[in-house]
Amino acid sequence: MKLSDFNYQLPQELIAQQPARPRDHSRLMVLDRRSKKIEHKAFYNIVDYLRSGDVLVLNDTKVFPARLIGYREKTGGRVEIFLLKRSKLETPGTGQEPKLKIKKSRETWEALIGNRRKRVGQIIVFAKGLKCEIIGQVDQSVWLVEFNKSGRVLERLIDELGEVPTPPYIKEPKNKRTKKLKSDYQTVYAKNTGSVAAPTAGFHFTVALINKLKKRGVQFEFVTLHVGLGTFAPVKIQNIKEHKMHAEFAALSALTAKRLNRAKKEGRRIIAVGTTSVRTLEAFCDKANNLKAGRRWVDIFIYPGYKFKAVDGLVTNFHLPESTLMMLVSAFARPQAGHQLISKAYQSAVKERYRFYSFGDAMFII
């Protein structure tokens, strides 16, 4: 398939700049894969499409404020750092660690550094005694930085000093990136810190809606996939099969795997909330279609023709044209001609004036 098969035209005014309030008052398109029927609802109406015994699988990753502003220790020049993820130096055993000596009292991260004069050995100073040293380079754009703090102390300082790294299509001025935005760009069930972008399909759930679904017998399970900057990376080649997917850290607990396998054996529906939940579940499925617990980096690329092993339904947002997310959704809609069905759904969404992207409306594919 070609990259252009996943393109569509979107008026700029349909790109949502703020979430719906309350969250579950966003709109919901319900797409039936078999009948190709499209219905237009509010998200809180999802209770009418779920039944007792259904299992919703959500990604409990938590976004951290990854953009830090500091100054070069020697010259005072301003430096902007965008933290990507803890380095694999912090996760021994990958077989890919650069041969660098890391102090145990410190913590190493991969980062983008917005300063032309950056170099190894340079020290960058932030507020409240936080510093980092540039100690190496991963590739042409990604650098290794070592902080003088680690663990909970470092996490607290990043949370206090950092800014929320919202996607480029959200035009919130930098001077208005407030605590409210930090709260908005987070799911209500976020728990495990590690993402630079949110699993946005989860934005539509409120605590009240979750409790209502639980009372109806809907089971909630959680996986973790820390969303990386690669989620915004464009596909640059026409033959999508040649695209190299970015790797992200994911985890599936033994208890969750056991519960999901039991639900599958009992014929109950496994419904993924978001493409990150889909990728986690599919990555941890073995050849016998059983889910196996684990913690590892995953780079599974799902596009039309992929045979799903774990997922029966999908709650997702409306995605950017020609993105890997569009390809995954198309693959789920129909094995071969899913891009045509999704194209039809997106045309309907534009006509009905749905709101798109991170803070936009939702689609439920059943």
362 and 26 in contact (C-beta within 8 Å)?
yes
What is the mean pLDDT of the segment spanning 323-342? Answer: 93
Tell me if 99 is assigned to some domain. yes
Q: Is the pLDDT of residue 43 over 80?
A: yes
Residues 90 and 226 in one domain: no
Whether residue 334 lies inside any domain: the answer is yes
In this structure, the answer to whether residues 249 and 150 fall within a common structural domain is no
Q: In what order do the strands lie in the sheet with 313-317?
A: 38-42, 27-31, 362-365, 313-317, 270-273, 55-59, 219-225, 248-252, 294-298
| 166 belongs to a structural domain | no
Residue 175 vs residue 340, higher pLDDT = 340
Pair (214, 127) in one structural domain: no
What percentage of the chain carries pLDDT values higher than 70? Answer: 93
Same domain, 238 and 100: no
Q: Do residues 210 and 153 both lie within one domain? A: no
CA distance 224 to 277: 8
- Domain assignment present for residue 111? The answer is yes
pLDDT class of 171 with cuts at 50, 70, 90: confident
* 112 and 256 belong to one structural domain: no
Q: Both 336 and 235 in a single domain? A: yes
Domain count, the chain: 2
For residue 115, being part of any structural domain is answered with: yes
More confident residue, 61 or 247: 61
Residues 298 and 329 in one domain: yes
Which domain covers residue 152, as residue numbers?
67-161
Count the neighbouring beta carbons within 10 Å of the beta carbon of residue 189. 16
Distances (CA, A) of 296 to 251, 253, 280: 7, 12, 10
Q: Quick one: pLDDT at residue 92?
A: 37
Tokens found for residue 124: 């960058």
Given a cut of 60, is residue 174 above it in pLDDT?
A: no
Whether residues 11 and 88 fall in one domain: no
Measured CA to CA, the distance from residue 204 to residue 198 in angstroms comes to 12
What is the model's pTM? 0.89
Q: Which of 59-68, 103-112, 181-190, 239-248 shows the lowest per-residue confidence on average (mean pLDDT)?
A: 103-112
Residues 256 and 337 in one domain: yes
* Same structural domain, 53 and 89: no
What's the pLDDT score for residue 106? 81
Res 190: pLDDT: 98
Of residues 46, 95, 44, 75, the one with CA closest to residue 313: 46
Segment 85-141, tens digit of pLDDT: 888 655 433 333 344 444 555 899 999 998 788 999 999 999 999 999 999 999 888
Q: Within a domain: residue 174?
A: no
Mean pLDDT for 299-304 is 96
Mean pLDDT score, 14-29:
98
pLDDT value for 148: 96
- Chain centroid, CA 236 distance in Å: 20
Helix or strand run (H / E) with residue 123:
strand 123-125
Output the pLDDT for position 241: 93
Q: What is the pLDDT of residue 176?
A: 56
Tell me the CATH number at 114: 2.40.10.240
- Count the helix, strand and coil residues of the chain and give each as a percent rounded to the nearest 5: 30, 25, 45
Look at residue 310 and tell me if it is in a domain: yes
**Span 232-261, average pLDDT:** 94
167 within a domain of the structure (yes/no)? no
Q: What DSSP line would sit under 139-196, residue for residue?
A: SSS-EEEEES--HHHHHHHHHHH-B----TT----GGG--HHHHHHTS-TT--EEEES
CATH of the domain at 344: 3.40.1780.10
Q: Identify whether residues 254 and 305 lie together within a single domain.
A: yes
